[in-house]
Amino acid sequence: MHDRVPRFIPLLAAVLGLACAPGCGSRDSNGTVLTVFAASSLTEAFGELEAGFEARSPTVDVRLSFAGSQVLRLQLEQGAAADVFASANEEHMRALVDDGLVSRSEIFAHNALVVVVPNEGSAVETFADLPLATRLVVGTSDVPVGMYTRLLLERAREPLGEDFVARVREHVVSEESNVRLARAKVELGEADAAIVYRTDAHASTRVRAIPVPEALEVRADYPIGPVARSTELALAERFIAFVRSPPGRRILDEHGFVTEVP
């Protein structure tokens, strides 16, 4: 496996570019600003949640900032101003809660992995065909989709064999810092396949999804919580409650998430 761009460069750029997100917990001509940090895979769903929440709270301006969960965690650790954090991975959220940077967290949705391939001309028709993809893209080992991908391949060892896993790993041509970059490689014809979330396949008309066998499925839990240093904690709690409400869950379900959580 190799990266086309050193991992620390996009990570540093993301931290420097977003660590001072404007308007967090302040007021402008539109009213109160609520800044929400959310994992890249939540882009479309949270765009719709933003519109729904603002329609119910006309004096609130929700500002969304999307990146890999590991990037957002680092931004918060470096002092970035935000009010809500929604992660694609419990590990990153737990670290922030343990450090007192996020007050608490709760699971609001689940996701799952699929393989995406071009709409036409792919040799990959089932998950067992994955070694036929000569240019495979996955997430880096510290981004949630990359963590889940590695767990998926470990689970595949017994039913599909060591040779299957070895051939898949040999064909990885790029590791990306967020799931949207992985999907984009297939959309642009730069890769034959990528392992992404089901919701990312759902959001694109330029790729088709190959399901992962049920016995190998890796469930991705999405936690959300208020940022402890937010100056709009009551508003942050209202936004989280909206995400967990029937209208919020309906939006998430429509974008391919599973919201039946305890």
Integer-rounded Cα radius of gyration of the chain: 19
Distance CA 36, CA 178 (A): 17
DSSP reduced 3-state for 112: strand
Do residues 261 and 108 lie in contact, with contact meaning Cβ atoms separated by under 8 Å? Answer: yes
Delineate the domains of the chain, giving CATH numbers in brackets. 8-110+221-254 (3.40.190.10), 111-219 (3.40.190.10)
Buried b or exposed e, range 222-256, using 16+ CB within 10 angstroms: bbbbbbebbebbebbbbbbebbbeeebbebbeebb
Mean pLDDT, the chain, integer: 90
Indicate the pLDDT class of residue 29, thresholds 50, 70 and 90.
very low
Does the pLDDT value for residue 155 go beyond 80? yes
pLDDT of residue 262: 55
Q: What is the reported pTM?
A: 0.85
The arithmetic mean of pLDDT across residues 148-173, rounded, is 97
**What digits encode the pLDDT tens for the residues 116-132?**
999 999 999 999 999 99
Do residues 176 and 7 lie in contact, with contact meaning Cβ atoms separated by under 8 Å? Answer: no
Q: Which helix (H) or strand (E) holds 166?
A: helix 162-170
pLDDT of residue 261: 65
More confident residue, 181 or 23: 181
